[in-house]
C-alpha cells in the first residue's frame, strides 16, 4: 500500500513566523509532488508543485524535495492568519491494478496562525 | 471561466438507500476525477475518466459504487446501497488532460448516511 504520511497537527505559529510542514512518502518511484491548501468546509486548492530535488519558491511559499530521503516539505514565510488551513501533501504514484499515475494524498496538517 | 460544478451540496440518507451525485467539469477539460474524502483524511481517488472512457477505477468499490460520463462532459457517481461508512465528502475534479498535473476541485457533496 503506497502511503503519504503527514503530522496531523495542529501546528500553531504566531503571525509573521515561518511555518514548516513535512511529508514523507513510501513509493520511491514517485516523480511528482504537490501541496494543496484546504480551508475548513472547502475543497482543496493547489498551491505548489515540485518535481526535482531542491527548493522551489513561489512568493511566501517554498517547497523542498529530497527524493533520496523520500521527503517533501512546505515552508510558509511571514505566516498570516489567512494561511490557517489544512495543508495536504499529494504524491503522484501508480496504483496496483491501475494504469495511470494518480494522486495519493496524506491526511493533511492543520495549521493555525495566531494574530 | 466557470469552475467545477457539483450538486447537490449536501445529502442525508438512511443506510441501504441509493444516492447520486452530479459533476460538471470546467469547459474543455477532458479528464474528470471522483474522490472520496472522509473526515480527517485526505481525498482518495475513486475513478478517473478521460473523455467518456474509464482510465482508472482500481479503487472504486464496484459492488456498490458506479460512475458514468456518457457524453464526455458531465458525470454521475452513484452509491447503491449506501452504508454508514460511505459518509464523506465526494469531490469532483477536472484537468485539461490526464498528462496535466493541475487538478481543479469542485465544492464537493457532503453525504451523511444514518
Q: What is the pLDDT of residues B83-108, one digit of tens each?
A: 999 999 999 999 987 677 789 999 99
Whole-number average pLDDT of chain A = 92
Residue to mutate among A103, A107, A109, with most B CBs inside 10 A, is A103
Is the CB of A61 inside 8 Å of chain B's CB atoms? no
Q: What is the 3-state secondary structure (H, E, C) of chain B?
A: CCCCEEECCEEEECCCCCEEEEEECCCCCCEEEEEEECCCCCCEEEEEEECCEEEECCCCCCCCEEEECCCCCCEEEEECCCCHHHCEEEEEEEECCCCCCCCEECCCEEEEEC
Looking at residues A88-95, what average pLDDT do you find? Answer: 84
Paired residues of A20 in beta bridges? A75
Query: What pLDDT digit, counting tens, does each position of A60-78 carry?
Result: 999 999 999 999 999 999 9
Is the predicted pLDDT of residue A98 greater than 60, yes or no?
Answer: no
**pLDDT more than 70, % of chain B:** 98
Segments of chain B with pLDDT less than 70: 1, 98
Nearest to B102 among A46, A104, A106 (CB): A46
Is the predicted pLDDT of residue A24 greater than 70, yes or no?
Answer: yes
Amino acid at each position: 500500500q503506497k502511503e503519504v504520511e503527514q503530522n496531523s497537527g495542529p501546528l500553531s505559529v504566531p503571525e509573521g513566523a515561518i511555518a514548516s510542514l513535512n511529508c514523507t512518502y513510501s513509493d520511491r518511484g514517485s516523480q511528482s509532488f504537490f501541496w494543496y491548501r484546504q480551508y475548513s468546509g472547502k475543497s482543496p486548492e493547489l498551491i505548489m508543485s515540485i518535481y526535482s530535488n531542491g527548493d522551489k519558491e513561489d512568493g511566501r511559499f517554498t517547497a523542498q524535495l529530497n527524493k533520496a530521503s523520500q521527503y517533501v516539505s512546505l515552508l510558509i514565510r511571514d505566516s498570516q492568519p489567512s494561511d490557517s488551513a489544512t495543508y495536504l501533501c499529494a504524491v503522484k504514484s501508480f496504483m496496483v491494478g491501475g494504469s495511470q499515475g494518480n494522486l495519493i494524498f496524506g491526511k493533511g496538517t492543520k495549521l493555525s496562525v495566531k494574530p | 471561466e466557470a469552475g467545477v460544478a457539483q450538486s447537490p451540496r449536501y445529502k442525508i440518507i438512511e443506510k441501504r438507500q441509493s444516492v447520486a451525485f452530479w459533476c460538471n467539469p470546467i469547459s474543455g477539460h477532458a479528464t474528470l476525477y471522483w474522490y472520496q474524502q472522509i473526515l480527517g483524511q485526505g481525498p482518495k481517488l475513486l475513478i478517473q475518466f478521460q473523455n467518456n472512457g474509464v482510465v482508472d477505477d482500481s479503487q472504486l468499490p464496484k459492488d456498490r459504487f458506479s460512475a458514468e460520463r456518457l457524453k464526455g462532459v458531465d458525470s454521475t457517481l452513484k452509491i447503491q446501497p449506501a452504508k454508514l461508512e460511505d459518509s464523506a465528502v465526494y469531490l469532483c475534479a477536472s484537468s485539461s488532460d490526464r498528462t496535466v498535473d493541475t487538478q481543479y476541485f469542485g465544492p464537493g457533496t457532503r453525504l451523511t448516511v444514518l
